[in-house]
């Protein structure tokens, strides 16, 4: 694990309050789009195309390096210090990164003259906060010496070790395996129950298979609070491989491939559109697919047509990157759609 210093000013606007209230961190550079599946060279090309005329090539190269650090190098479980400038606050926040990179397009506006509430902080990662208002005076000297005006700075080994010591002296155990956050576990249980309830009504045979998988997952969480990826993968694959081939078509070019199986629900929230749980569950499983491509995934997603519209490009990128077979099962319509 590593330690990072992040300035909370995406697109020049102080977003500290949003970071703390909503449990995420973000960087600026709006207008370059979703960078999830981009190579490093593509990130530079996107920044260059949008910013070269106003800021020049050195800015574009430095910016693309910062963006790459945020997207690729800041990992789940890493410690991040969010540090405002002294004139804004003498308190900092400390958290642990809890997701891979994701893109929030509604916050990608490029307006910078005034804060619209939607401009310039679309590139994000979730964070679980350990300290929301830690006085700077309590930080070890090697950490304070690492402060720069840069958006992102990586702590050296001495600074990181001293920071961990200070946090542990305040009651935070950072040596244990990073646990799945409580809201994710609740989300997982809720999504599985939602799927199972619908399947029991519509397709009892499919419900029986899903229930076997759900029981394995719940047992793992009962045994340990930690997300033990290897155990989860092994148990789910063991159950899945014993099921009918038409349900788990993982044979590709004569060899078994990993599988992502998505259970979609046509569940709406009145005029508000897709239910909150379905949206959040889909986001969570997309993150997990990036973190561990060999796990079998079952999830409540969106209505089939809207699911494909919103997520097919992302799944295509994941499938290509990890050689994953992705299947969408819509239990309400008894249909299967191969996504990539």
pLDDT score at 234: 39
Higher per-residue confidence, 83 vs 36:
83
Q: How many domains, in total, are found in the chain?
A: 2
208 and 63 in a single domain? The answer is no
Query: Is 272 part of any domain?
Result: yes
**What integer pLDDT is reported at residue 193 of this predicted model?**
61
Residues 277 and 225 reside in one and the same domain: yes
Q: What is the pLDDT of residue 107?
A: 87
Q: Note the pLDDT tens digit of each residue in 182-232.
A: 544 554 555 556 555 655 665 565 556 556 655 654 454 444 333 333 333
Q: Do both 36 and 164 map to the same domain? A: yes
| Side-chain half-sphere CA neighbours of 158 within 13 A | 7
Residues 147, 249, single domain; the answer is: no
Residue 219's pLDDT is what? Answer: 52
The per-residue pLDDT for range 232-271, each reduced to its tens digit, is 333 334 433 433 322 233 333 333 333 333 333 333 333 3
Whether residues 101 and 165 share a domain: the answer is yes
Distance (Å) of CA 192 to CA 186, 289, 313: 10, 17, 25
Q: 192 and 311 share a domain? A: yes
Query: CA torsion sign, 56 to 62 to 65 to 71?
Result: negative
96 burial level (CB within 10 Å; 0-12, 13-18, 19+): buried
Q: Does any domain span residue 219?
A: yes
Q: What are phi and psi of 326, to 5 degrees?
A: -115, 125
CATH of the domain at 94: 3.10.590
Let me know if residue 36 belongs to a domain: yes
Q: Which of residues 169, 199, 220 is at a domain's end?
A: 169
DSSP β-ladder status, 300-301 and 259-264: parallel
pLDDT tens sequence across 23-53: 999 999 999 988 877 889 999 999 999 999 9
- 118 and 230, same domain (yes or no): no
pLDDT digits (tens, 9 = 90+) for 4-29: 999 999 998 999 999 999 899 999 99
pLDDT band at 142 (very low <50, low <70, confident <90, very high): very high
- Do 161 and 244 lie in one domain? The reply is no
Q: Is residue 175 part of a domain?
A: no
Residue 3 backbone phi and psi in degrees, to 5 = -115, 140
Mean pLDDT of the chain: 68
Handedness of CA 10, 12, 16, 17 (dihedral sign): negative
49 in a domain, yes or no?
yes
Structural domain boundaries enclosing 193: 182-338
Q: Cα separation of 248 and 245, whole Å?
A: 5
Residues 8 and 157 reside in one and the same domain: yes
**75/193 same-domain check:** no
Write out the two tokens for 277: 């749980």
* Cα–Cα distances in angstroms (integers) from residue 24 to residues 81, 94, 116, 259, 264, in the given order: 12, 12, 19, 29, 27
């Amino acid at each position: 694990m590593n330690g990072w210093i992040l300035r909370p000013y995406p697109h020049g606007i102080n977003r500290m309050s949003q970071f703390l209230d909503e449990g995420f961190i973000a960087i600026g550079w709006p207008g370059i789009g979703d960078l999830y599946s981009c190579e490093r060279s593509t990130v530079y090309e996107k920044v260059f195309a949008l910013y070269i005329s106003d800021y020049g090539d050195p800015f574009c190269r430095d910016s693309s390096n910062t963006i790459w650090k945020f997207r690729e190098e800041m990992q789940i479980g890493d410690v991040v210090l969010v540090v405002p400038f002294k004139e804004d606050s003498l308190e900092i926040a400390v958290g642990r990164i809890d997701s891979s990179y994701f893109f929030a397009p509604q916050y990608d506006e490029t307006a910078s003259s005034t804060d619209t509430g939607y401009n310039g902080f679309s590139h994000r990662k979730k964070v679980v906060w350990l300290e929301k208002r830690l006085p700077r005076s309590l930080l070890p000297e090697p950490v304070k010496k690492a402060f720069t005006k840069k958006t992102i700075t990586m702590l050296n080994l001495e600074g990181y070790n001293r920071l961990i010591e200070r946090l542990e002296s305040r009651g935070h155990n950072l040596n244990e395996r990073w646990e799945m956050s409580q809201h994710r576990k609740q989300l997982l249980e809720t999504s599985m129950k939602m799927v199972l309830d619908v399947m029991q009504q519509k397709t009892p045979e499919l419900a029986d298979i899903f229930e076997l998988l759900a029981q394995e997952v719940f047992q793992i969480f009962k045994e340990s609070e930690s997300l033990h990826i290897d155990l989860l993968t092994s148990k789910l694959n063991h159950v899945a491989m014993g099921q009918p081939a038409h349900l788990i078509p993982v044979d590709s070019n004569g060899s078994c491939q990993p599988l992502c199986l998505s259970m979609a629900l046509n569940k709406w929230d009145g005029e508000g559109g897709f239910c909150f749980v379905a949206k959040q569950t889909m986001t969570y499983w997309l993150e997990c697919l990036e973190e561990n491509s060999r796990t079998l995934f079952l999830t409540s997603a969106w209505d089939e047509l809207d699911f494909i519209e919103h997520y097919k490009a992302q799944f295509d990128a994941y499938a290509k990157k990890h050689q994953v077979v992705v299947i969408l099962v819509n239990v309400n319509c008894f249909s299967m759609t191969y996504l990539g």
